[in-house]
Amino acid sequence: DSGVTQTPKHLITATGQRVTLRCSPRSGDLSVYWYQQSLDQGLQFLIQYYNGEERAKGNILERFSAQQFPDLHSELNLSSLELGDSALYFCASSTGLQNTDTQYFGPGTRLTVL
């Protein structure tokens, strides 16, 4: 158990809908990262937040947005969902901003868009 929690574990929805994925980092961690992993694919970095502020952006679609709240939990919002958005979405947390800080991954949310 990494200490990072993600809800829900599974999500099934229809095209065009909007969903929110939630992540609670490890106690004391200030950085939260979101990744997308499609079937048999690698990890695609989406976005990073540090202490409530956006710090780095990866290949995140405009239909996707995220935020980190004062209690440091983070939410990833996916809207106008398409079939291709079906994937595992992982959240990871680390203590600080440095890339040398270990990232601890949550169990993931499996999103299925029908």
Partner 1 sequence: QQPVQSPQAVILREGEDAVINCSSSKALYSVHWYRQKHGEAPVFLMILLKGGEQKGHDKISASFNEKKQQSSLYLTASQLSYSGTYFCGTDYSSASKIIFGSGTRLSIRP
Q: State the nearest-atom distance from the C-beta of 35 to partner 1, in Å.
A: 8
Give the Cα separation of 48 and 59 in Å (integer): 11
Q: How far is the CB of 94 from partner 1 (least distance, A)?
A: 10
- Strand bridging mode 53-57 / 31-37: unpaired
Residue in 98, 111, 113, 114 binding partner 1, rule: CB under 8 A? 98
In the complex, minimum distance from the CB of residue 82 to partner 1, in angstroms, rounded to a whole number: 22
Site string for partner 1, 10-49 (x = CB under 8 A): -------------------------------xxxxx--x-
- Of 29, 106, 111, 113, the one binding partner 1 by CB under 8 A: 106
Instruction: Tell me the one-letter amino acid at 97.
Output: L
Nearest to 76 by CA among 113, 8, 23: 23
Footprint of partner 1 on residues 59-88 (CB under 8 A)? none
Among 74, 80, 66, 79, CA closest to 26: 74
Q: Using CB under 8 A as the criterion, which residues of the chain lie in contact with partner 1 when the complex forms?
A: 2, 41-45, 48, 56, 58, 90, 97-100, 102-108
